[in-house]
Amino acid sequence: QTAMNRSNVQYGRDDSATTKTQTPQTAFLIFALTATQVATALHPKRPAVTTACHAAYYLEDIATNAQNLVTAAITNAQKANIEAAKLLAVANSKAGAEALAARILGLTMLGSATQVLDTIKRKLDIINAGTTAAAELAGQMLAVQELETTAIESSKYVAAASAYTNGNNIQAKPKVTPHQHGSCMKTAKERQAHEGKTVDQTPNNHNLVLFALKPVNLPTKAANNDLTLCGSSGGTPGTDTVDSHPCTNAQNTNIALKGGKIFTNQKITITRQHGAAHENYGQSTASGAVPTPQTIAKSTAAIAKLEEAAADIGTLSATLDIKTLITAADLRERLAKAIDGENAKYSDQETKTKVDNLLKEVIGENGDEIKNAVGKSLDDMTPPKAAVGGNGDRQLKTITNPKELADAATCYTVRRFINEQEVKKKKQESPSCPTNTDKLTEPAKSADECKKHKTSETLQR
């Protein structure tokens, strides 16, 4: 018979021959898998970003949170797969409404877990690109913090008369002063602190604070100013510098170069408003600085896509809650098609009644049937030693090895098949001969009639 031909069957709780005892359970493994909040906020809660080190910390947190997001989603899906395997094992060991409830839950959870993993797979390139972009941008912030110390050293005085003779020429000697313990490190094992009041991101409005290096603005042309060549009548050539013996205006007996920093950092704040899907962050306005606006734009575009992917994965993972799954609109639509055919819709009143009656039969009014029937089976079942090894006392709820769960489900399936075949064989051997359970209104057959019946069935086979 097709699903359409069976559509006149009405599912109702009173039709079931299965008695369900409302036994309170101390714990239900079926509800052990709760909706994990895998939508980890990519943007961390930190104090205001005021240095390149702070900017690096913030971006590193985004990269770390992205990795945690994927790990949490995969872990969530793995738990769902394990729970699904246990539910299917229960389904293969039971009959009637309890078997159907366990099977629907197991398959629905399996489908949801697969959907999460499939989404991660499809979004993996975006996640990797966004994570890499955040990490690369963080690395550039660490470089900005170090290179900000780049300077020109002050030179020693040279007699003006010989300043242009080979060997006496004044040179601009660059220097960098690296941090003793590494970029943004306070000690060999401790980073520079990021202290202050936590700043929360504005809803639907994400900010990234970055720093870029740009050349310093030269000071006015005057003696003793940074990066300026000046003269003195008293500075000792080869010994004194402008720092130890300042220049004097209009003196040219001895000349020297006053050193100074050549870079300064520029704070950049770029914003992404979530008014439109996949909208990128704004452009950096720090022209003539490094990292350039183009470099920043490439990285922040990847981070924006990472935010979208994170939202998608978080939404999917949240549907792994069992009660959410069993009451989902999608399940009702699938049941509608299973009952009334491929074109059926749950919105059709006749189909809706059938689906609702079936769900009431399987899960109860509010899921209590699942807790007290399937949940109890999950708590109490002990798979055969032949399937999972051990001493034969391992409870199903304690098993997490996928292969062992598959072996348990296989064992229950095979045993159920064998039992069904034995029952079928017994019915074929004496389908209507007198038994203790025959209806009283049915007249008993004679021995000859039974013999003829068996002979007839043998010939038909």
- Give the per-residue pLDDT at 371: 59
Confidence of residue 240 (pLDDT cuts 50, 70, 90): very high
Residue 5 in this model has a pLDDT that exceeds 50: no
- Give the per-residue pLDDT at 18: 32
Full-model pTM? 0.72
| Segment 368-423, tens digit of pLDDT | 666 566 667 777 777 777 677 777 778 777 777 878 877 877 877 788 888 878 88
- Give the per-residue pLDDT at 28: 31
| Segment 127-159, tens digit of pLDDT | 999 999 999 999 999 999 999 999 999 999 999
Residue 457 in this model has a pLDDT that exceeds 60: no
Residue 16 in this model has a pLDDT that exceeds 50: no
- Give the per-residue pLDDT at 56: 97
Secondary structure, 3-state, the chain: CCCCHHHHCCCCHHHCCCCCCCCCCCCCHHHCCCCCCCCCCCCCCEECCCCHHHHHHHHHHHHHHHHHHHHHHHHHHHHHHHHHHHHHHHHHHCCHHHHHHHHHHHHHHHHHHHHHHHHHHHHHHHHHHHHHHHHHHHHHHHHHHHHCCCEECCCECEEHHHCCCCCCCCCCCEECCCCCCCCCECCCCCECCCCCCEECCECCEEEEEEEEEEECCCCCCCCCCCCEEEEECCCCCCCCECCCCCCCCCCCCEEEEECEECEEEEEEEEEEECCCCCCCCCCCCCCCCECCHHHHHHHHHHHHHHHHHHHHHHHHHHHHCHHHHHCCHHHHHHHHHHHHCCCCCCCCHHHHHHHHHHHHHHHCCCCHHHHHHHHHHHHHCCCCHHHHCCCCCCCHHHCCCHHHHHHHHHHHHHHHHHHHHHHHHHHHHCCCCCCCCCCCCCCCCCHHHHHHHHHHHHHHC
| Segment 269-314, tens digit of pLDDT | 999 876 555 578 888 988 899 999 999 999 999 999 999 888 887 6
| Segment 250-268, tens digit of pLDDT | 998 999 999 999 999 999 9
Residue 453 in this model has a pLDDT that exceeds 50: no
| Segment 17-28, tens digit of pLDDT | 333 333 323 223
Residue 433 in this model has a pLDDT that exceeds 80: no
Confidence of residue 92 (pLDDT cuts 50, 70, 90): confident
| Segment 184-208, tens digit of pLDDT | 999 999 999 999 998 877 767 789 9
| Segment 318-362, tens digit of pLDDT | 455 566 677 778 888 888 999 999 899 999 999 999 988 888 777
Residue 61 in this model has a pLDDT that exceeds 90: yes
Q: What is the mean pLDDT of residues 201-228?
A: 91
